[in-house]
Structure 1
Amino acid sequence: MAVYRKRGHDQGNPHKVRCVVSNTGETASHPRRDDSEPWRACLRDEDTGEILGAGVVLTEGVVLTCAHVIQKAQGYKPGSETPDVAVAVEVMAQDELASARVMPGCWVPPTEDDRGDVALLRMDRAIQPEPRVQLRRLRCPRGRTVHSYGFPYVRAYGIYASAVLSGWAGPGGEWIQIDSVPQREVIRPGFSGAGVVDERTGAVVGIAAIAYHSDLSHLAWMIPVDVVAEYLPAFREWLGPEIPCDRWASPAGAILIAVGAHDEAAVAGIHVPNMVDAAGKSADEVYRVLRDTPASEPRGSEPVGVTGIEQAQEPEKVLDSVVGPMVRNGATVVLRLSDENSPTARLVRQRQRDALRVRIDALTEGVADLAQREDLARTHRRRAQARLRPPPKITELSALAAELQLPLAALRSSVDDTDPDRLRRAVERFERKLDRYLDQVERVAREADAAMLVLERLRGLVASYNARAVQHGLLEDKELEQPLRAAREALDAYPCDLNIAEARVNEYVRAVQHRLRAGQ
């Protein structure tokens, strides 16, 4: 279905929508479409209605897009710091089009190697879609599942594309590579400027920038939101909190037990500067005293201490509804007891072992996470070494997860028989080792990414210069046909000799530059 909408000027209404009926019975002014992401926008040429690309509506009528999308508009004139050209913006779930222009100081056109390429537009009327878009930096992009919604010319109302993020790539390492998902739609021309959405959080983590397609691969790249912020300082006000690495972390703190009168001595090697007296208090009263202490902070912050728990109004409720949540949140809680043989003391020791079991259960998940990351890193390492010539030097991984299986089983079986303080120290040593092994795996993954980055940078150069040639009417230019074919053959070769590929890509780039200069 192809339905065309444009602003009408013939009846004096600058926002009137000209409506065409499609072959499905829908009307262009009221199409049936998914409005779960109302911040999506389609950008069109104001005069012809031709789709230029996509955009992300931020707030109060501000739109983020790629600069090359604006450069495709008929009224665009190169050379100015802020181009004076209007484009039509069709916001999802809106019945009218708005006109938009580049905001002063918010224009970064693509360089020769396609760096930059971002712009902010201001619409002629304030539009604030609800819910508002979330914009968040993705600290660890590898393996994240994403989707995008673009407007290829064959689908005027847009299509979804699903993909998986591979890692940092592109010119200067500014982009993140997007790998297509088999048997799903791929990012293609018409997606430029479209928000790339992280499936887990629903946040926009970048905008689609460029795509490369051949018989062997379907690749695309996005400009991450933090790179956009580096080019456009005005964009920073819309950035939300960073999405942390999706990696194992110990979810629980610890309960330490001290017996006897309070003094300033360290408990199990941990200094406890403040003790809260629970004697005579209800669980709610103890909570109110503790809520403004470091108890609510993650493990590793200043520990909190509680004394007099045996004389509390409800000792077990204090343990389960006050101390328990603090420990699960990662706090280290020191409980000072007056009688190590009291019923409350026995209850405390049981809760102490329960907290250790939670941490050991988490270690089981952590080792499983390590095994998966290990396999993925080895796969990327093998792919890079098989794909490239000369083979890149990438650290070889030993069987790290397998090495941890037996010690983990020993920890799990010793919870009831080992002194809790000794067991806690063993658990902490295991956690530190698991963290070191995860770091090793991440280093190998980064080495594999860096090796493949050279190839993807060359692909990006060919794709960007080919797009530039097409934009200037050189699609069937005879002088460019042979060097383009040679560059693509070198890049698609398996294995790919990087020295040959780089020489052929540079030859094609020079050929395009020569033809563009000749046409000026």
Structure 2
Amino acid sequence: MGEETEVPVNTEVRGETWRVRISTTGGDVLGAGILLAADAVLTCAHVIPTGPGDPPDLSVPTAEISVPTTEVQVELVGVPGARPVPARVADGCWVPELADSRGDVALLTLAEPQDARHAAPLHRVAPTRGRSVWMCGFPSTRELQDGVWFRATLAGPSGPRGEWVQMFPLTPEETVRPGFSGAAVTDAETHRVLGMVVSRYDDRSSAAPASRRLHLSYMIPIETVVRHLPAIDRYVSGGRGNGLPSVPRGAARDREFARWLARWFAAAEGTRQVEAVVIKKGEAVRAATLSRAVALADRELPADTPPPRRAPLPVGIHPPASLHAPPPGTPPPAAAPRNGTARRPPSPYGPDEEPDDLLPPVGSVDLALDVSGETVADVAARVADRLGLSPAGEDGSAVGLLGAAAVPLTIVAEGVDYAAAPLALVEFTDLLAARGARLLLVFRNPESQSLELALRMADPGKDETAARLDRLRDRIDHIARRERAAHDSTALIAPVRPVPQRAAALRLDLTALRRHPEPGGARFLADLGAFESTVESELLRIEEVIGLAEAQIARRNELRGRLEAFFALLAARSLEEERAAAPLYRTAHNLLHRAPCELAEAERAVERFAEAVRHHTHRPRGGDAS
């Protein structure tokens, strides 16, 4: 049963040249893998056979185990004509399954390098619920040994300490099985690799028919793999979820604040979707408490640990295990000696030091960043990247890229009142909240106007309808301010983009809504909801205009710097050479300092001057000519 609904590999997704089948030297299929580079393949540790001998007692913290030296065969099944090549576990890159099922990742080194163009596009993405994914494995069934595609949707954090992400198979028959371990989990929309298949669960205890039993699959997100194998960091694109500074293990903490943060990150009962807190400059303990809590909640970096260097980090060892149900969690492994053995280390989570009520769930923060000096467009770009949205292109805007997308992320924004436009950023975070985001907004000045706005937006004490109307008033006032800012920005670059002028009309519409003949009735609520959508769309539209203008202004400033750098090179030449190139410099300078600036024309003028400088600076000086 079930094989009739499976999708043969040659009839569906094509182009995944990174797909790897791992077999014994005798040809028996062991599992799957992901080509990361010409000579590197990622897979699950339990896929690699170990030598003879009983598994050690993991209750002994100093148990040392040898890294497996078994040779396996690796074949790029997505590359026509590829032949199997030998591979072994890379030095210091085997993290076997621990007693609590964490870990279970390994990096193989190929004896014969492959074409690096076939490597996988690994990408850091928040594993949000409902995302459609594909995976291809190699079951033992003879007809399917060349690969079979399964489909699933991501559900949410699961497994040991939340390291895994549960996947709902599209049909019960598409639950992963032996032969899928180590397979790439690929986003159906962007075709980026988001994780790796690790386990499955079948409910065999129920008396219900097999078609009605629980069937689940699990993956390890790429960020968790990086946490265990820092060596693969060089192959992963996308910004890290945690951009706050690390703090030393012994740093003092505000325990009450840590307890509150743990509850908020866990979305405990009684916590609010949007919270605004103040950490004043100089409040080092409170700031360290926030940074540590975010690090504990991050998938990639353990608390107290700086960003990994791009070099292999040997880790704790444990014999392999087959696919099975996920048990509860314990500490991850750490560094091992260079002699090919490893020692189980203390946990970076610090459970012996931290009571459970101070520990936020792993993966409970999707994005944490210091927004000091950042624009709305900058923050929107980071949000879009964490959602795995495709780039908008040269003329696109990150704000526009979000479009009508849901934003099921938990976001920490530190230094909101020190952003490039604090009020605009608070308005934008309110828009993100309307799309489903949970937000912790951190301010440094208790008297800031942006904090006042954030508190007013998050005020649960108001009547809901009155609060919605007041929020609309604030949004429209903000749109008016942003329209003025957009006018100033767009006037600097030609062709000058038209700026929407909708604030005045929106104010009239809001006044009409407040005078609605049926306040509080069904028709009023429908009109209120429609107007909220209209205002939200106008806010997005004006932020997109500003984002595009800011990108063009940044390009103009970059060209100004390039022009002056080449002028400095010319200054070391003779006066005659400087005079010869001076007209080109003046032309480029005038174009770049004119408002509006014709950006394309100015860019050509800068390049003409740069070419002239290159011509002069590559000639010998007058007195050096032979």
Give the structure-1-normalised TM-score: 0.45
TM-score, length-scaled by structure 2: 0.38
Higher RCO structure, 1 or 2 (CA under 8 Å, sep 6+): 2
